Structure 1
Amino acid sequence: MRRVMFSILIALLFFESNGQDIKFSKIKSDTATTFNFVNKTYAPITLKITHKKDSEIRFLEGETLCKPQDSLINVVNIPKRLFENDSTFETSDYIGLSYSFGKRLHKDSIKKHLYELPFQKRKRYKIMQGFNGKFSHRSVQSKYAIDFKIPIGDTIVAARNGYVVRVVSHFTERGGKSFRDKANQIVIVHDDATFAYYVHLDTNGTLVEVNDYVEAGQPIGIAGFTGYTTKPHLHFVVRNYDTAIPIEFKKRKDIGKKSGVWVRN
C-alpha cells in the first residue's frame, strides 16, 4: 500500500522539488485523496493536465490559470479504491502533469521597455550567439535569446525590475542535449507578466531567493557552465508565456541582432 501511494505521488511531488514555492497539497479522506495546486510566487502559472487513459480519476483537464499567490482547489481526485484494488496503479499512466510560468499575453499588453545589460558596469563581453542563432536559437522559446560569453565567476545582474519566481543552483554538469534540463538558472517576472530567464549559472551561484524583489542592475547570480552548453556563457531571454520576444537595450537597440560582436556596459 505504501509503495503504491508513493508511485501515485511521484508526478505530483515533482512540482515541489522543481518549483520551491509551487507545489501540490494533499487532503486524504476515507474515500479519496485530493490534491490542490499551490502557487506561492508572484507569477501567474498555467497548469496543464492532459488525459492519457480512462479511469475514475477526476481532474481539471486542459490548461488552467493559477493567479499569483493563489491556489487551485480539487485539481486531482483519486478514489481510494483505485490504488487499493490495483497494486500496479500509477497516476502517470492516466494523466500528464506540467506547468508553465505566465499566461499568453496579447502583444498590446506587453510594455515597451529598454533593458539594462545583464552584467556589471565597465565590463565587456562578446555575444556568442544572438537572435535566431544557428546553433540553438531556432526554437519558439529561444529565437530571441542572447548568449553572452561571460566567464565562470563573473557577476550577473538583473536586466529589469521584478520578482524572482524560480531559482535553480544545484546542478554541476554540462554537455549535449541530454543536459538541456540541468542548467542552473534564475527566472524573474516583470510588471507586465513577461519573464526573464538567466541560464547556465554556476553551482550554488545564485544570490537571490524566490519571491525576492530585485531592481535592474542588482547582482542576482554568478556566471557558470551548467546544462546544455559547450562553453561558459549566460543565456538571456525574455518570454511571453512560452514564446521568446524581441527586446532592446538602453546601451544600443541593435544588441542581439548579430553574433560575434562585443558589448560594453
Structure 2
Amino acid sequence: MKHFLITILLLITFQIGYGQTLESQKRFENDSVYIDFINPFYAPIEMKLSALDSTKAYIRVRQNAILNYQDTLHGAFVVPKSMVKDTSNINSSHYINFKGNFGDPKSIADTEYRYTLPYPKNKRYKIIQSFGGKFSHNKPHSKYAIDFGTKVGDTITASRDGIVFFVKEDSDEHCRTRKCIDKGNKVYILHKDGTMAHYVHLKLNGALVEVGDKVDVGEPIAISGMTGFTTIPHLHLVVYKANGISIPFYFKGQKSKKLKQGKYYTRRK
C-alpha cells in the first residue's frame, strides 16, 4: 500500500507540538477510497474528525478515536472515487477537519509523584518564571510551566523515567515574540501514568536521546540552549495531561511545593 504524510493540516491542529505529522495510507474498495490514519508516535493521540460543510453530503467519517503507538484507525474517512479528482494525491484537509492532541484522556495522573530537578547533582539554578508567571505562563498549556535559568551548553537531565516520543533539534533561531514559538528545540517524554514532560529551548543538535529511547530519572537527555520564543537562555519544563493541558508537578526534597521565582534550587539527590 502506498503511504503518505498529512503535513499541512497537522501542523495547524497539533497545538502541543509543532511540525508533527501523522502517517496515513489509502485503500481502494469497490467505488470508494478509504483513508487510514496510523500513529507513529510512542505517545497516544486523541483524534476528533468531522466532515467539511462542503463534503459532509458524500463522505463517511470516524469522528472520535484514541490511537496508541502504531495503532491504525481504519477508514478514518471514506470518499467515493467519483468525488476525487486525483486519487494519487489526496489532501485530507480538502475533505475533513482534524483535531488531535497527545495523551489518553482516560489516563489518571499520579499526583503523589515527586519529580527530580532537571539537572545534575549539586548543580543549582535560579527560577526565572514559575507557575502562573506573567510573561508567558498564563495560558492553560503553560500555566504550570517552570523556567530554570540555565546557560547555553548546560546539561539537562530527565526529571522522571519514561520513553522519548518526540525530538526536535534542528533550530538555531530565537526571538522575543510568539512567532518563534515553533523554533524551540525540545524533547518530549511519556511517563507511565500517561503524563508527558516537555523540555524546551534546547541547543541546536542538543538532544542526547532519540525517539524510542527509555530514559531513567537523572539521565542526561539534552543540552540547554536559547531557541524559540525566549529572551534569555533557559530550560522550559512543563508536564501535560491529555488535551494539551499543563498540570502542577512538584519536586522531591523541597520544603515548599511550588518553586518560587527568583530563588535558587540545588539538586541534592
* TM-score normalised by the chain length of structure 1: 0.84
AA matched with 1:113: Y
The Cα shift of 1:19 comes to: 4.0
In 1, are the aligned partners of 2:159 and 2:218 still within 8 Å (CA)? yes
AA matched with 2:137: H
In 2, are the aligned partners of 1:164 and 1:186 still within 8 Å (CA)? yes
| Cα distance in 1 between the residues matched to 2:231 and 2:202 | 14
In 2, are the aligned partners of 1:114 and 1:249 still within 8 Å (CA)? yes
In 1, are the aligned partners of 2:184 and 2:228 still within 8 Å (CA)? yes
Question: Are residues 155 and 33 of structure 1, via their aligned partners in 2, closer, same or farther at CA, if it must alter by over 3 Å?
Answer: farther
* TM-score normalised by the chain length of structure 2: 0.83
| Cα distance in 2 between the residues matched to 1:252 and 1:210 | 31
| Cα distance in 2 between the residues matched to 1:57 and 1:224 | 47
Question: Are residues 58 and 247 of structure 1, via their aligned partners in 2, closer, same or farther at CA, if it must alter by over 3 Å?
Answer: same
Percent identity over the alignment? 39
Match of 2:122 in 1: 122
The alignment partner of 1:180 has SS state of helix
The alignment partner of 1:164 has SS state of strand
In 2, are the aligned partners of 1:127 and 1:262 still within 8 Å (CA)? yes
AA matched with 1:259: Q
Deviations, residues 234-263 of structure 1 (Å, cap 9, x unaligned) = 110111112111111113153644211111
Deviates more, 1:251-260 or 1:235-244: 251-260
**Structure 2 portions without partners, runs of 5+:** none
Kindly tell me the number of residue pairs found equivalent between the two proteins: 253
Question: Are residues 27 and 152 of structure 1, via their aligned partners in 2, closer, same or farther at CA, if it must alter by over 3 Å?
Answer: farther
Selected match of 1:252 from 229, 243, 254: 254
Match of 1:58 in 2: 60
Match of 2:169 in 1: 169
Which structure 2 residues correspond to residues 125-144 of structure 1 after superposition, within 5 A? 125-144=125-144
RMSD: 2.8
Deviates more, 1:121-130 or 1:41-50: 41-50
Could you say which structure has the higher helix fraction?
1
The Cα shift of 1:25 comes to: 2.6
The alignment partner of 2:84 has SS state of helix
In 1, are the aligned partners of 2:6 and 2:23 still within 8 Å (CA)? no
| Cα distance in 2 between the residues matched to 1:147 and 1:28 | 50
Deviations, residues 189-232 of structure 1 (Å, cap 9, x unaligned) = 11110111111111111111111110000011111111111111
Deviations, residues 110-160 of structure 1 (Å, cap 9, x unaligned) = 351110111111211111100000001111111110000111111111100
AA matched with 1:210: V
Match of 2:218 in 1: 217
In 1, are the aligned partners of 2:107 and 2:193 still within 8 Å (CA)? no
Match of 1:190 in 2: 191
| Cα distance in 2 between the residues matched to 1:58 and 1:123 | 56
In 1, are the aligned partners of 2:174 and 2:226 still within 8 Å (CA)? yes
Match of 2:49 in 1: 49
The Cα shift of 1:96 comes to: 2.1
Deviations, residues 59-99 of structure 1 (Å, cap 9, x unaligned) = 222x42112342211112233322328xxx96424422232
AA matched with 1:184: N
In 2, are the aligned partners of 1:208 and 1:221 still within 8 Å (CA)? yes
| Cα distance in 2 between the residues matched to 1:123 and 1:9 | 43
Question: Are residues 37 and 48 of structure 1, via their aligned partners in 2, closer, same or farther at CA, if it must alter by over 3 Å?
Answer: same
| Cα distance in 2 between the residues matched to 1:137 and 1:257 | 14
The Cα shift of 1:29 comes to: 5.6
Match of 2:151 in 1: 151
**Structure 1 portions without partners, runs of 5+:** 1-5
AA matched with 1:195: M
Question: Are residues 120 and 26 of structure 1, via their aligned partners in 2, closer, same or farther at CA, if it must alter by over 3 Å?
Answer: farther
AA matched with 2:101: S
